[in-house]
């Protein structure tokens, strides 16, 4: 059995060069044992409590809203567990105008492409049951349903995979992929490797753009 947790960093806006990010990052956290992830978050919260590190108001751990010490601790703990990280880095200024005009389609294609690359490289084995779990990125139900339908119709029929869209406050282990994706984002958007260096040893695939 394998668990694939997905999150993204940056945005897919193209209207304002000053406000919109230059890169958009999609990140998968892959674990064969769900306990590998749960133990990280449990240890993180225990550490934060011991250090009296104040949480932000968010209902779940969100890297760009937490203290850097907490984010670094999360990455350090994750780097010691049996997990794998794959990511797709989209450089937005080279994305075609056709894709820019339909960002929901672009998002779906990008996620499918990364999932396909995991299949081709045998990161996901056909003999196992897989659970693909993503954050609820949209408030509109129809968009989430379209996202699920697209992935289900695109991935290999040979791969046994359930696709689930949920809230990190309900699926707590989604919290861990957020700081990992954030660390990769900091590398590309700001040329800042401080956080990235803490999780680099777990990144097995880091693709840039796609056709």
Please check the confidence at residue 138 and state whether its pLDDT lies above 60. no
Number of Cβ within a 10 Å radius of residue 37: 22
What mean pLDDT do residues 186-209 have? Answer: 97
Residue 95: what pLDDT?
A: 86
Q: Is 53 exposed, middle or buried (0-12, 13-18, 19+ CB in 10 A)?
A: middle
Q: Tell me, what DSSP letter sits at residue 194?
A: T
**Do 184 and 202 form a contact (C-beta atoms < 8 A)?**
no
Cα separation values, 48 from 65, 75, 184, 189, 196, Å: 15, 14, 23, 28, 21
**Do 61 and 48 form a contact (C-beta atoms < 8 A)?**
no
Please check the confidence at residue 53 and state whether its pLDDT lies above 50. yes
pLDDT digits (tens, 9 = 90+) for 75-127: 999 999 999 999 999 999 888 877 778 888 888 889 889 988 998 898 887 77
pLDDT digits (tens, 9 = 90+) for 72-89: 999 999 999 999 999 999
Residue 142: what pLDDT?
A: 56
Cα gap 132→155, rounded to integer Å: 12
pTM of the predicted protein model = 0.89
pLDDT, the chain, mean:
85
Please check the confidence at residue 169 and state whether its pLDDT lies above 60. no
Please check the confidence at residue 148 and state whether its pLDDT lies above 50. yes
Please check the confidence at residue 23 and state whether its pLDDT lies above 60. yes
Please check the confidence at residue 180 and state whether its pLDDT lies above 50. yes
Number of domains in the chain: 1
Please check the confidence at residue 200 and state whether its pLDDT lies above 90. yes
Please check the confidence at residue 139 and state whether its pLDDT lies above 50. no
Residue 146: what pLDDT?
A: 80
Per the structure, the complete domain to which residue 68 belongs is given by 2-208
Q: Is 10 exposed, middle or buried (0-12, 13-18, 19+ CB in 10 A)?
A: buried
Strand (E) positions, the chain?
A: 2-10, 23-31, 83-91, 129-135, 160-166, 203-208
Strand (E) positions, 53-122?
A: 83-91
Please check the confidence at residue 43 and state whether its pLDDT lies above 70. yes
Q: What CATH code is carried by the domain that includes residue 66?
A: 3.30.420.10
Task: Measure the N-to-C terminal CA separation of the chain; round to a whole number of Å.
Answer: 30
């Amino acid at each position: 059995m394998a668990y694939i947790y997905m999150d993204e960093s940056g945005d897919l806006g193209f209207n304002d060069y000053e406000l919109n990010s230059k890169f958009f990052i999609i990140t998968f956290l892959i674990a064969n044992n769900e306990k590998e992830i749960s133990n990280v978050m449990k240890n993180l919260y225990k550490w934060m409590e011991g250090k009296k590190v104040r949480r932000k108001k968010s209902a779940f751990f969100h890297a760009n809203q937490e203290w850097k010490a907490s984010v670094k601790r999360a990455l350090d703990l994750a780097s010691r567990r049996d997990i794998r990280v794959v990511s797709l880095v989209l450089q937005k200024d080279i994305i075609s105008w056709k894709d820019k005009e339909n960002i929901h389609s672009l998002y779906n294609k990008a996620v499918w492409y990364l999932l396909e690359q995991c299949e081709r490289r045998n990161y996901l084995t056909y003999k196992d049951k897989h659970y693909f779990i993503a954050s609820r990125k949209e408030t509109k139900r129809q968009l989430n349903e379209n996202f699920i339908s697209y992935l289900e119709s695109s991935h290999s029929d040979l791969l046994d995979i359930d696709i689930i869209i949920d809230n990190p406050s309900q699926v707590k282990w989604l919290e861990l992929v957020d700081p990992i994706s954030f660390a990769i984002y900091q590398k590309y958007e700001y040329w800042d490797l401080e956080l990235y260096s803490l999780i680099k040893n777990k990144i097995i695939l880091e693709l840039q753009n796609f056709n």
